[in-house]
Amino acid sequence: MREQETCGKTNEAKKLGISLSCVLSPNKVYKAYYRTDMGQISKRFIGASASYSLPNSQKILADLSLERAATGKSPIYRIDIGYSACFDIPFSIKRDKEVVKGVVRRSEDHGYLGVLHVLVRMDGMAVFTGSDGIFVLSGVPPGVHYIDIDRSSIPSNLIPAVQLPLRVDVLAGTEVELVIDLTQSGSIAGTVTRLGPEEEIVLLPGGHEKVIGERVGIYGVIIELRGELETLRSKTGPQGEFRFTALRPGTWVISIPQFGDDVERIVVTLEPGEEGIVNIVIPPKLREATLLENIEIPVQ
């Protein structure tokens, strides 16, 4: 369509025409047409076209037309042959780096509350949590990474509910979301003692044992504490005392490897914020207990 300005007015070429199509098969189409363009110079077109579809969305086009203008000039014959093909080119938005984001939160009576200013580290990258406990690590390449938090940046009475560092598998084109829960830490304290020179083990009715006299602490005993995911060790002090802190809630088993099966393992179950007290008495190997029957011994 052409426009030409004449005396401030615009003349538009009008097109009138008719066409007849013949579809012999889904891949063969023939068409004949006649068209008149009525502009400043009228033109008439008459022609025929044919199209043939090939496999894989390919197509061959052929067009034969006769153009004749109203100026009386010689008619123009035109033959157009074309070829077209469609290709499926897969494409996607590629990210050079991925994102790992998450939240550090603590358990409260009404649910969970985000923890502010917790330092989160992962493979040399570091970021602080916001007021809602959310953190975002950008520019993370795909692969295996390990994420941890700085213990000095969280309140002293809190501990991660799971063992850290935590493995993070980052896949290309994905966004990883994590939740790191904090819980109140517990502790286990106690002593390891032996019977003194004036002590004696007596058996009460029902098979229960009772130690009479003063106990003596044993220095330098290795205490082993086993949890579901970790094993801790500590050495007793001058009075036989020991203490484990920053423990996750759950079941812990206490044993003394150097005494083997002579000292029974002790199982302690901790609740959040709870302290367990354990006092271990090492019995003499070559000492017979005095059996007192039907004697009631007051508990000191």
* Residue 162 predicted with pLDDT over 90: no
DSSP 3-state of 270: strand
Is residue 73 within 8 Å of residue 118, measured between CB atoms? no
Residue 68 CB partners (closer than 8 Å, separation 6+): 43, 44, 45, 75, 76
pTM of the model: 0.53
What is the token pair recorded at 81?
């042959």
> Can you give the pLDDT at residue 8?
43
Residue 182's SS3 state is strand
Asked if the peptide bond before residue 165 counts as cis, ω within 30 degrees of 0, the response is yes
Is the distance from CB of 242 to CB of 218 less than 8 angstroms? no
- When mean pLDDT is compared over 17-21, 85-89, 223-227, the highest value belongs to 223-227
- 98-184: CATH class: mainly beta
DSSP states of 77-97 as a string?
Answer: EEEEEEEEE-------PPPSS
For residue 281, the model assigns a pLDDT of 83
Show Cβ contacts of residue 124 under 8 Å, excluding neighbours closer than 6 positions: none
Q: What is the pLDDT of residues 269-288, one digit of tens each?
A: 999 989 999 998 887 653 33
Question: Given this model, what pLDDT does residue 292 score?
Answer: 40
Cβ–Cβ < 8 Å for 235, 243: no
Phi, psi dihedral angles at 266 (to 5 degrees) = -115, 130
Answer yes or no: CATH 3.20.20.370 is held by domain 186-291.
no
Cα-Cα end-to-end distance for the chain = 113
Instruction: Say whether 258 sits in a helix, a strand or coil.
Output: helix
Cβ contacts of residue 78 below 8 Å, gap of 6+? 47, 63, 64, 65, 66, 67
- pLDDT tens digits for 51-97? 777 766 667 777 776 666 666 666 766 666 666 666 555 555 555 56
Q: Are 98-184 and 186-291 equal in CATH topology?
A: yes
Q: Is 295's pLDDT higher than 50?
A: no
For the chain, domain boundaries: 3-85, 98-184, 186-291
Residues 165-214 have pLDDT tens digits of: 999 999 887 899 999 999 999 999 999 988 665 555 555 566 666 655 56
